[in-house]
A and B are shown apart, each in its own frame.
Chain A
Amino acid sequence: MNWLTPAMVDLLVEGFSETLVMVGASAAIAVALGLPLALLLHATGPGGLSPRPWMNRPLGLLVNAVRSTPFIILMVAIVPFTRLVAGTSIGTGAAVVPLALAATAFLARLFENALREVEPGVIEAARAMGATRMQIVTKVLVPEALPGLIAATTVALVSLVGFSAMAGAVGGGGLGDLGIRFGYQRFMPEVMLTVVLVLILFVQGLQSLGDWLVRRLSRR
């Protein structure tokens, strides 16, 4: 363990906190943007609360386009946009922009699926009881879909951990970056191994937390 110097520990801690920032910030943005997007997709879709094909189709296409672009290409392709938003195209802050964009599209679809799992009958009952569309969204759709929404967020968080490692490779920092710089470029396989172990534990933790929440929230 002679490689685990205080300096290396500092690097690991720093890498982990950068990963946390990238994953946390982009997930927060993705949830904030992805949920309204999913609600819009759900409402305007066939059989939705207010079907509007002219709105639903382009929106769906856009989401799919972002989702099907490989992340590494997306990251490079939106550099001008990243600069506009973050003021720079390198560093942890800049990495959040493409991560958030990719995660928003990803989550919008996952959220939409979770909303579709809500029994149409429950929505119909709410309509029969004189609920407004807004009440149906806030009092029926979202609360009933909550376990599914949480499960989707967990999936997104786990994927974000992986994507953030890629973002690290282009100057975003984080654990992935650390692993590549020390483990690969400086031939320190122990560092690579440590990084991988930390990432595995982190992902496991996220997944367990997510599963626990879903279990607690669903009343089936």
Chain B
Amino acid sequence: MAAIALSRLSKRFAPGAPPALEEVSLEIAPGEVFGIVGRSGAGKSTLIRCVNLLERPDSGRVEVLGQDLMSLDEAALRAARRGMGMVFQHFNLHARRTVAENVAFPLEVAGMARAERERRVAELLPLVGLEAKRDAYPAQLSGGQKQRVGIARALASGPRILLCDEATSALDPETTAEILALIRDLRARLDLTVLLITHEMAVVKSVCDRVAVMEAGRVIEEGPVFDVFTRPTQPTTRRFVAEVIGHSVPPGTLSRLPQPGPGEARRLVQVLFAGPHSTRAVVSEASRDFDVDMNIVSGRVDEIAGEPFGVMALAAYGAPDKLEGALGWMRSLGLHVTELGEAA
């Protein structure tokens, strides 16, 4: 059974307005970190807010841990919400409550006795590394510390599900990495299912198992993170992927490449190395076997969802049929070879 099952969710904020959500269906398996990525206004927040019904979809079905949320009355819905933690971009902490009091808030709301609340808070703060800050006020904390409070608060009532709406978007890259590592760590320790929304592909790359790409209220592409990164099918997804694995080559560099000699052709290609051949000496094999020259314009190796992955821009010179043969051979190895085209 899916931890979260959304089926055909549609939402329009005003009659005649473009839909914020259009027939969105997603299934999130227990224990996975599922990312939703999209540009600002794509409908990501609306979608995640539908999971705990902060926003009610116009139509569709929201099922969390097997429970059909749309059919619940207010009291039952509040109880269901306590089974889901939510983390926000701007932390949304109570300015006049201390760290400990912020973390205790959901417990207080649930009617837990003070002594028990304090015991629980004492368990939670070490989990996010904030024991020393228990009596500080949010204004005295850094962004990363505030988000740690937000996470501890979201986990206070022991939810199975964690919803993160741009949880790292207000943080600098280093703090972002820390918070993402914390989320991954907590996911494993507390056996959480995490639904995470972001406009940054780097976040997806470092923390998610699967990803859905949203555009104009619809999911346009979905799959395991590694597949989406290495084989994006939609132009929007390609642009997102390019942000992270940066395969674009500066036009200035391309224009400075040597022109092909007489009888030669030049092909500019990008090669994605993934899977079993990612460590093979493809370039030297191809130059030897097909009698072509390969000029490596740019290249880098990276890891996505724990798998090695490389991207390289090549300028290949040789007789046209030899070039064709070399590129065909590379494709036959399962490498993704795409034409970069000629820069002016």
Partner-B contacts on A (CB < 8 A):
119, 121-122, 124-132, 135, 139-140, 143-144, 146-147, 217-220
The reply to whether B109 and A139 contact each other, CB–CB distance below 8 Å, is yes
A122 to chain B, nearest CB (A): 5
Contact pick for A220, options B97, B109, B139, CB 8 Å = B139
The reply to whether B54 and A127 contact each other, CB–CB distance below 8 Å, is yes
Give B68-87 interface residues, CB cut-off 8 Å to A: 78-82, 84, 86
The bracket for how many chain B residues form the interface is 20 to 34
Give B305-327 interface residues, CB cut-off 8 Å to A: none
The reply to whether B88 and A219 contact each other, CB–CB distance below 8 Å, is no
Given A121-B88, A124-B54, verify A130-B95 contact (CB < 8 Å): no
Contact pick for A139, options B54, B78, B108, CB 8 Å = B108
**Inter-chain residue pair count (beta carbon < 8 A):** 71
The interface residues of chain B lying within 8 Å CB-to-CB of A126 are: 105, 109
Given A140-B94, A218-B96, verify A132-B78 contact (CB < 8 Å): yes
The reply to whether A129 and B81 contact each other, CB–CB distance below 8 Å, is yes
A58 to chain B, nearest CB (A): 25
The interface residues of chain A lying within 8 Å CB-to-CB of B52 are: 128
B96 to chain A, nearest CB (A): 5
B18 to chain A, nearest CB (A): 21
The reply to whether A143 and B54 contact each other, CB–CB distance below 8 Å, is no
Given A139-B109, A140-B94, A143-B94, verify A125-B82 contact (CB < 8 Å): no
Q: How far is the CA of A173 from the CA of B108 in the complex (A)?
A: 49
The interface residues of chain A lying within 8 Å CB-to-CB of B137 are: 219
Q: Does B92 contact A (CB under 8 A)?
A: yes
- Tell me whether chain A's interface is mostly helix, strand or loop, or mixed: helix
Q: Which residue of B lies closest to A136 (CB)?
A: B109
- Tell me whether chain B's interface is mostly helix, strand or loop, or mixed: mixed
The interface residues of chain B lying within 8 Å CB-to-CB of A220 are: 95, 139
Q: How far is the CA of A146 from the CA of B106 in the complex (A)?
A: 21
Q: How far is the CA of A127 from the CA of B79 in the complex (A)?
A: 11
The interface residues of chain A lying within 8 Å CB-to-CB of B82 are: 129-130
Given A129-B81, A129-B82, A139-B105, verify A219-B92 contact (CB < 8 Å): no
Contact pick for A128, options B86, B93, B110, B139, CB 8 Å = B86
Q: How far is the CA of A218 from the CA of B137 in the complex (A)?
A: 10
B241 to chain A, nearest CB (A): 31
The interface residues of chain B lying within 8 Å CB-to-CB of A146 are: 96
Contact pick for B92, options A121, A130, A139, A218, CB 8 Å = A121
Q: How far is the CA of A131 from the CA of B86 in the complex (A)?
A: 13
Q: Does B138 contact A (CB under 8 A)?
A: yes
Q: Does B8 contact A (CB under 8 A)?
A: no
Q: What are 14 of the A-B contact pairs (CB < 8 Å)?
A: A122-B92, A122-B93, A128-B163, A130-B81, A130-B82, A130-B106, A139-B105, A139-B109, A140-B94, A144-B94, A146-B96, A218-B95, A219-B96, A220-B95
Q: Does B90 contact A (CB under 8 A)?
A: yes
Q: How far is the CA of A67 from the CA of B52 in the complex (A)?
A: 42
Q: Which residue of A lies closest to B109 (CB)?
A: A131
The interface residues of chain B lying within 8 Å CB-to-CB of A135 are: 109
**13 additional A-B residue pairs with CB within 8 Å, beyond A128-B86, A219-B139:** A121-B88, A121-B92, A124-B92, A127-B54, A128-B52, A130-B106, A131-B109, A135-B109, A139-B105, A144-B94, A144-B95, A219-B96, A220-B95
The reply to whether B96 and A217 contact each other, CB–CB distance below 8 Å, is yes
The reply to whether A125 and B86 contact each other, CB–CB distance below 8 Å, is yes
Q: How far is the CA of A173 from the CA of B163 in the complex (A)?
A: 62
Contact pick for A129, options B91, B95, B105, B138, CB 8 Å = B105
The interface residues of chain B lying within 8 Å CB-to-CB of A124 are: 54, 88, 92
Q: How far is the CA of A217 from the CA of B82 in the complex (A)?
A: 30
The interface residues of chain A lying within 8 Å CB-to-CB of B106 are: 129-130
Q: How far is the CA of A125 from the CA of B78 in the complex (A)?
A: 12
The interface residues of chain A lying within 8 Å CB-to-CB of B105 are: 126, 129, 139
B332 to chain A, nearest CB (A): 51
Closest 10 CB pairs of A and B: A121-B92, A130-B78, A125-B92, A219-B137, A130-B81, A129-B106, A128-B86, A130-B82, A131-B109, A122-B92
